[in-house]
Amino acid sequence: MDNNYLCDRRVNKRMRSFLFFGEQKGMLGSYVKTTNLKLKLLRVLNLRGLLFDCEGYIPFMSLPDVICESIHLRYLGVADTGLRHLPSPISNLQFLQTLDASGNRFEGMTDLRKLTSLRHLMGRFIGELLIGDAVNLQTLRSISSYSWSKLQCKSLKNLRDLEIYDSGYVELTRVRLNLSSFSNLTNLRALTLRVPTFRISSEAVVFHMDVFFPSLESLTFSGTNLEEDPMPALQKLPRLEDLVLEDCDCSEVKMSFSAQGFARLRKLALFRVRLDSLWIEEEAMPSLMHLNLVNRLGPRTKMMIPDRFLALVRGY
């Protein structure tokens, strides 16, 4: 792509959609000049994979203010653009419904409280995320456990897809999560937890799993230390179809799948999971179609798997 194209006078100032396909060139990527991007009628703008060259220098850090002047934007894609900060003028985009900033790490505070039309928000928000009354929000990926603990979860009643992520950057501000912190998200369909520790919480939550999570269809744990067997609680989820554990430590846990559980589960994946033992009863998971066991779970793992599952096993 010609990096000067955005400054070309032939650009139609009345266009509604503008999609860029940046060709990555080593670690530096492709740069694009945005100083003359005055397309205020835009509804869709995708800059995925491009880096911003503003007035002769490469800041890497913030979204150019000129993009925030396109006040009619519904979709803004700035994935993999090296951003570290979203400037305050982004509040001008009050009609914005999708902000895809995947692949960028926002370590400071991100204030999106004025974007009340936002439905889908993607990025790695390690610092505090302010989203105000986000009643329209349906997708939130991904947010730190600390920032999640600061949100008013009661306003997120329409949230359907949630990912929570922790790393060394937030080691001092990690908050231990448990299922009760999601109990108000009755429309949640997909939950991904990339956190170091997790607890099932109280017996009351376990008993009322079908009430707290009536819509949950997909659940993923990644890099998590599960301090107790989660299956007695998770098997009560009435619509769960996909369950994935990857790089998890359950070395002190006897994981068991009872005959009464996981009626609708279609996929079970255990990738590089450390387990003491794995027991699957004969009548468990009647709808299962895919069973992935990578590296045999560990050299000392004790397993009991019914014969009817052997044809489904992958990676064993």
Model pLDDT for residues 118-137, shown as the tens digit of each residue: 999 999 998 889 987 788 99
Q: What is the pLDDT of residue 115?
A: 94
Find the radius of gyration of the CA atoms of the chain. Answer: 23
Token pair recorded at residue 240: 């769960």
Please tell me the pTM assigned to this model. 0.85
215 contacts 191 by C-beta, under 8 angstroms: no
Model pLDDT for residues 184-198, shown as the tens digit of each residue: 888 999 999 988 877
Taking alpha carbons only, the member of 179, 145, 141, 175 closest to residue 160 is 141
Taking alpha carbons only, the member of 222, 151, 211, 223 closest to residue 181 is 151
Q: What is the pLDDT of residue 118?
A: 95
Q: What is the pLDDT of residue 312?
A: 74
Residue 160 has pLDDT above 80, yes or no: yes
Mean pLDDT of the chain: 80
Taking alpha carbons only, the member of 268, 263, 259, 247 closest to residue 312 is 268
Cβ neighbourhood burial of 154 (10 Å; 0-12, 13-18, 19+): exposed
Token pair recorded at residue 79: 């994935």
Q: How far apart are CA 70 and CA 65, in angstroms?
A: 10
Alpha helices, H only, the chain: 145-150, 203-207, 209-212, 231-234
Model pLDDT for residues 53-95, shown as the tens digit of each residue: 655 444 557 788 888 888 999 999 999 888 888 988 999 999 9
Q: What is the pLDDT of residue 56?
A: 46
Residue 26 has pLDDT above 50, yes or no: no
Model pLDDT for residues 256-288, shown as the tens digit of each residue: 898 878 999 999 998 888 888 888 998 899 999
